[in-house]
Structure 1
Amino acid sequence: MDNAELYEKGNNMQKRDALESLQDYADKIKWKQYGARILDIGSGDGTVTTRILKEYTPQNYKIIVGCDVSEKMVQFANDNHGNERTRFILLNIENYPPKELMGSFDHVVSFYTLHWIKNQKSAFMNIFDLMTEDGSCFLIFCGRNPIFDVYRTLSKRSIWRPWLENVDRFISPYHDSEDPEKEITQMLDNIGFRDIYVTCKKKHFVFDSADAIKSAVKAVNPFSIPSELYNDFLEDYLEVVRRMRIMDEANNNQSTVKYEYDLIIVHASK
């Protein structure tokens, strides 16, 4: 997940869900119309921040700040998308943010990032502290997703175990949750959020070929697989996908992969 160029080309599902979520919940977000300060957590290569998010923010915003844990991503985003009203910074939302950022943002958004964080309470407390007194947040992240089951299966194979031994570190905290909506709502309420809205939405995405799914896996794969073994890893990945009956083999020997997953959508105010 450190290769910005690769992520930019392979994150089509993430871009689609960010776009659809912003469209569906535009009225609920209630953007500040003038001088808004916006933080995008997990901005990656910067394309969602600048090509999708900006389409739904008022034109009179003051600044959009994207943050990411990857120095390479931040550098790429600044080089390709930064300007006088858009900048990207290095920040791990799981850690306590710099004092100068506290209480600075009218809106905090995040697309496909928070499921990577194990200490959910710490992350949401930091989001709360980054918001202005009348600020709001809009966040989407993974709940149940078959990709996590594929990772778990591969981690049990001797050839991949050395690189996937910490597999649970990269599985959404809500993948096995029986009631993620209740769990998240209670956490937000305890932190002090108000006007809490949490929903777990059933989604699906179709990759039109095996190559397309390989590109998507490369874009978000969190494991440091040696380059000389990567093709074998991807073939094993597809083999597991076939056994899980996610992949459909067509008559023309092309393959489509239909992922069905749960997307958690959160909106709350301070």
Structure 2
Amino acid sequence: MSKKSSATEARSTVEAESAAVYSATMGPYRESSLDILNMFEKSFSECYEGVVARSDVLQKPQFLDVACGAGNFTFNNLLPRYMAHCRRIVAVDKAPSMIRFAKLHHKHEKITYDTLDIVDGDIESFVRQHGLFARVFSFNLLHWVKDPVRALKNIEKLLAPDGECFIIFQHCIPMFEVNMALAESERWKKYAK
């Protein structure tokens, strides 16, 4: 065995183990993401109805999960919640090892796993391959990327007309000000009562 193939094999083993460790230890993050998704579910569902009503597409829309990691949240939470509302969920991650793990452990006919770097990836090629999305989810990604503004611009390029995104990320922001801004916005003020 050559040094190069030995090093490649060792790296492959470490990546597979990393995906398994990630899958096993991210429970608290998945739970907090689910809590936030549940909190906004009612308003999100109403928005979903509006997107579908304005769509010229006769088939059900597709959703995208950006930075799906090992696929746990996509498979265990997004799929059961939205299976009836979409034709498929495309779940992407930058790390090929995560996608391999997800395909092996969280496969389903309505989930397509693929690699995509949301900052530096070829978004146009991805759209040609998969199409646009009525809804884009991203849970706990933006605080890890080197260029969050570019990531957001790329997420926008993935959205279908009238599509929407649901993004959770950690950042030091004054939550009172955020809550007040939401409570005063046209879209959200009816939920602030």
Calculate the TM-score normalised by the size of structure 2.
0.70
CA contact (8 A) 1:19 1:52 kept: yes
Whether 1:63 aligns to 2:88 is: yes
Matched AA of 2:23: E
Identify unmatched segments of 5+ residues in structure 1.
145-176, 186-194, 198-270
Matched AA of 2:142: L
Q: Deviations over 1:134-187 (max 9, x none)?
A: 10000111114xxxxxxxxxxxxxxxxxxxxxxxxxxxxxxxx679x78xx9xx
Matched AA of 1:18: S
Q: CA deviation at 1:97?
A: 1.1
Q: CA deviation at 1:56?
A: 2.4
Q: CA 1:27/1:89 → structure 2, altered by over 3 Å: closer, same or farther?
A: same
Residue equivalent to 1:77:
102
Residue equivalent to 1:141:
169
Q: Secondary structure at the match of 1:27?
A: helix
Q: CA 1:61/1:89 → structure 2, altered by over 3 Å: closer, same or farther?
A: same
CA contact (8 A) 1:18 1:52 kept: no
Q: Which among 42, 47, 52 is matched to residue 77 of structure 2?
A: 52
Whether 1:120 aligns to 2:148 is: yes
Q: CA 1:62/1:119 → structure 2, altered by over 3 Å: closer, same or farther?
A: same
Q: Which has the higher helix share?
A: 2
**Partners of 1:57 and 1:80 in 2: CA distance:** 20
CA contact (8 A) 2:134 2:159 kept: yes
Residue equivalent to 1:37:
62
Q: CA deviation at 1:59?
A: 1.5
Q: Which has the higher strand share?
A: 1
Q: CA deviation at 1:124?
A: 0.7
The CA RMSD measured in Å over matched residues stands at 2.9
Q: Secondary structure at the match of 2:64?
A: strand
Identify unmatched segments of 5+ residues in structure 2.
1-13, 53-58, 189-193
- The aligned length equals 155
Residue equivalent to 1:225:
none
Residue equivalent to 1:132:
160
Matched AA of 1:24: M
Q: CA 1:122/1:196 → structure 2, altered by over 3 Å: closer, same or farther?
A: farther
Whether 1:92 aligns to 2:107 is: no
Q: CA 1:83/1:128 → structure 2, altered by over 3 Å: closer, same or farther?
A: same
Q: CA deviation at 1:58?
A: 4.7
Q: CA 1:196/1:78 → structure 2, altered by over 3 Å: closer, same or farther?
A: farther
Whether 1:7 aligns to 2:13 is: no
